[in-house]
Amino acid sequence: MARRRDLWTGAAPGANPFALPRGPLGWVAGRVLARTNRTQNAEVAGFLRALGGTSVLEVGHGPGILVELLARQYDTTVTGVDPSTEMVRMARGRNAEAVRAGRVRLWRASAEATGCDDASMDLVVSVNTVAMWPFLDEGLAEFQRVLRPGGRAVVTWHRYPPRFALTSEELDTVEAAMRKRFGAAERDRLPSSVVLSAAR
């Protein structure tokens, strides 16, 4: 991929419509993300199913594909937050019936300030957003805050295509930050994703 900005230095994602979808171009980016990330979201949903738990928060839900899949597999409310107004609208449209039924809650918020209550979630997951967070540890601190004891934090990123993948050093940085915050972390490889997870 093109040279990536330095990660987790406080820099904003800039004008890239895939990093922070805004306006009409952001809406188009959301449609593209819904199509291109569907397989990856499905395999992450399968990974989360094996972890158990009932209450789930997705941080950076984008067009709402994983929210939709999680709402089908969990019996309680699925919460999603995203910093993009366009993506919140798109995800609400995709999950309109579940939103009306109170099984899905979606609002605009960031990784470091989700607006969720302390110790309110069994699972917190981020798919392909960790490289857009301004500060890595602040996002992981928020994951820790909202997780119940025994809950799991899950951070995933693309494996393919290679131009989108994080470098081994960047993945090591995320894993080390999770170990520092949670005491331990695990790394798994799914067909399309690298998965980093830790228990509260």
What are the boundaries of each domain within the chain? 53-199
SS3 45: helix
Q: Rounded to two decimals, what is the model's pTM?
A: 0.92
Packing angle of the helix pair 38-51, 23-36 (nearest 10 deg):
60
Block residue for tokens 């107004």: 85
- The one-letter code for the residue type at 162 is P
Q: What is the CATH number of domain 53-199?
A: 3.40.50.150
Q: Give the pLDDT score at 164.
A: 84
Q: Give the pLDDT score at 14.
A: 67
Residue 186: beta bridge partners? 197
Residues of the chain scoring pLDDT < 50:
1-3
Encoding tokens for residue 186? 């695990």
Q: Give the pLDDT score at 1.
A: 37
Instruction: In whole angstroms, give the CA distance from residue 79 to residue 105.
Output: 5
Q: What is the CB-side half-sphere exposure of residue 82 using CA atoms within 13 A?
A: 29
Handedness of CA 60, 61, 67, 69 (dihedral sign): negative
Beta carbons of 143 and 173 less than 8 angstroms apart: no
